[in-house]
Structure 1
Amino acid sequence: MKHVHALLLPLAAVGLLMFPVMLQAASLDPVDNSGVQVQRQEQNGITYLSGGIGEDEAKAIQQTTGYNLHMTFSVGVENKYIPDVDVVIQKAQGQPVLTLSQAGPLVYVQLPPGKYTVVATRNGEARHDTTDVGNDTARNLVFHWNGDE
């Protein structure tokens, strides 16, 4: 019996040490999308996803492929995701190609290659960014507002 106790203590210690590793591995697993309502949408021939409220929905969007512009909207010192942003994506000549209301906190868009200006507005406060979108890798734009929710 003394030998059994001597063996159980090291096994228990190894099990406790492995627990955090097992938790991290579980969080990297793909999300079961069956309960997540992220729908592919289209406007003017442009395909996009908008959502990301809740961890499962955010992970589901982040695991999608085929979108060459990824936008994230956040507010405050905690960088809290926000879902109430108006977005206009314009071609270089200023012609709008996609206009969204109350979008986010994540918006993924499939655009034809080219240069675009993105205007993201929240509570009347606009943020602008310009990007070249291609077919190779996705461009990531982060729009952040200071202050409270």
Structure 2
Amino acid sequence: MKFAQSLLVLMLLAGTLSAAEYPPDAPIDPSAVHLQPMEQNGIAYVQGGIGEDESRTLQQTSGYNLHITLSSGVDNKYLSGVDLTVQSANGNPVLTLQDVGPLVYVKLPAGHYQVLASFEGEQSKQAVTVNSQAPATLNLHWR
């Protein structure tokens, strides 16, 4: 078995990938994947997605109930270098990240949140409700 296939099997067994989401004819080069699950204030998150292999790996990762995509321009190109804050319904920051993107996946308790992001001085703000049924998705976009 090739190294990439072995890695994917291990990821499937560990529960980080869903078998239904992985197309068998699209191998992922693990040397191009540099994702590091992190935690801040008890909130788990992972960010990255630069390059097709890393982007596809992150999109196939399960266990995170808020999926944020950062993009720019008329072509919706992936964007990194964004400062991001997730606030609780009462305005308290629960997660504050700097220089992230283009994909940010977060595991939050069910509830209402505000996501604030800043890129090159331009602000973006969106409300989101996170529940246990399906991941909430946000696309924060800059022109």
How far apart, CA to CA, are the structure 2 residues paired with 1:25 and 1:45?
Answer: 35
How far apart, CA to CA, are the structure 2 residues paired with 1:30 and 1:131?
Answer: 33
TM-score normalised to the size of structure 2? 0.80
Aligned to 2:10: none
Return the offset for 1:77.
1.2
Aligned to 1:87: 84
Structure 1 runs of 4+ with >4 Å offset: none
How far apart, CA to CA, are the structure 2 residues paired with 1:113 and 1:103?
Answer: 23
Taking only aligned residues, the RMSD between alpha carbons, in angstroms, comes to 1.6
Structure 2 residue 122 is matched with structure 1 residue 125: yes
Aligned to 1:101: 98
Tell me the percent identity: 50
TM-score normalised to the size of structure 1? 0.77
How far apart, CA to CA, are the structure 2 residues paired with 1:105 and 1:117?
Answer: 18
Structure 2 residue 90 is matched with structure 1 residue 65: no
Structure 2 residue 49 is matched with structure 1 residue 49: no
How far apart, CA to CA, are the structure 2 residues paired with 1:34 and 1:78?
Answer: 28
Count of matched residue pairs:
121
Return the offset for 1:70.
0.2
Aligned to 2:139: 142
Structure 2 residue 74 is matched with structure 1 residue 77: yes
Structure 2 residue 111 is matched with structure 1 residue 111: no
How far apart, CA to CA, are the structure 2 residues paired with 1:45 and 1:80?
Answer: 31
Structure 1: which 5+ runs fail to align?
A: 1-23
Matched-pair contact (CA < 8 Å) for 2:32–2:51: no
Aligned to 1:38: 35
Return the offset for 1:25.
7.2
Relative to total residues, which structure has the larger helix share, 1 or 2? Answer: 1
Q: Secondary structure at the match of 1:58?
A: helix
Return the offset for 1:123.
0.6
